Structure 1
Amino acid sequence: MNGRDAGTPSVGVHTVGIVDDHELMLDGLCTWIDANAPALDVVIRSSSWSEMARHTAFPPDVVLMDLQLKEPISVEARVRICRSVGTTVVVMSALDDPDTVRRVLDAGAAAFVSKARPAKELVETVMNVLGLRRPGDAAWDEVSRPRVVSTSIRFTEDEEETLRLYASGHSPVEVAMILGTNIQAVKNALERVRRQYGSEGRQADSKHDLMLRAAEDGYLA
Structure 2
Amino acid sequence: MSRGFRVGVVDDHPAIAAGVPVGLRDHLPLDGECPVASTVRGLLETAHELDVVLLDIRLQDRSAPADNVRRLVARGWPVLLFTQVRQPAVVAACLQAGAAGVVGKHEGWTTLAAAVRTVAGGEDHVNADWAAALRVLVEGRAPALAPREAQVVNLYSTGLPMKSVARRLGVGEETAKEYLARVKRKYLEAGRPVHTRSELYLRALEDGLLDPPGGV
For the aligned pair, the TM-score class normalised by the smaller chain equals 0.5 to 0.7
| Aligned equivalent of 1:162 | none
In terms of fraction of residues, the more strand-rich structure is 1
**Residues 1:102 and 2:92 are matched in the alignment:** yes
**Residues 1:63 and 2:53 are matched in the alignment:** yes
Are the counterparts in 1 of residues 10 and 55 from structure 2 also a CA contact under 8 Å? Answer: yes
| 1:108 Cα deviation after fit | 1.1
| 1:125 Cα deviation after fit | 0.8
| 1:41 Cα deviation after fit | 4.6
| Aligned equivalent of 1:157 | none
Q: What secondary structure, in the 3-state scheme, does the structure 2 residue paired with 1:43 have?
A: coil
Q: 1:171 aligns with which of 127, 130, 135?
A: 127
Higher mean C-alpha displacement, 86-95 vs 40-49: 40-49
Higher Rg of the two aligned structures: 2
Match of 1:111, as an amino acid?
A: G
| Aligned equivalent of 1:90 | 80
RMSD between aligned alpha carbons? 2.6
| Aligned equivalent of 1:47 | 38
Between the aligned residues of both structures, percent identity stands at: 25
CA distance in 1, matches of 2:54, 2:13: 13
| Aligned equivalent of 2:15 | 24
CA distance in 2, matches of 1:76, 1:99: 11
Q: 1:47 to 1:175 in 2, by over 3 A?
A: same
> Any residues of structure 2 matched to 1:134-213 within 5 Å, and which?
169-178=125-134
Match of 1:117, as an amino acid?
A: E
| 1:43 Cα deviation after fit | 3.1
Are the counterparts in 2 of residues 43 and 60 from structure 1 also a CA contact under 8 Å? Answer: no
| Aligned equivalent of 1:191 | none
Q: 1:34 aligns with which of 12, 15, 25?
A: 25
| 1:92 Cα deviation after fit | 1.6
| Aligned equivalent of 1:116 | 106
CA distance in 1, matches of 2:116, 2:71: 19
With structure 1 as the length reference, what TM-score do the two structures score? 0.54
With structure 2 as the length reference, what TM-score do the two structures score? 0.55
| 1:45 Cα deviation after fit | 1.2
Are the counterparts in 2 of residues 15 and 41 from structure 1 also a CA contact under 8 Å? Answer: yes
Cα deviation 1:21-54 (Å, max 9, x = unaligned): 1111112211111222115554301223232121
Q: 1:75 to 1:26 in 2, by over 3 A?
A: same
Are the counterparts in 2 of residues 34 and 41 from structure 1 also a CA contact under 8 Å? Answer: no
Are the counterparts in 2 of residues 92 and 115 from structure 1 also a CA contact under 8 Å? Answer: yes
**Residues 1:131 and 2:87 are matched in the alignment:** no
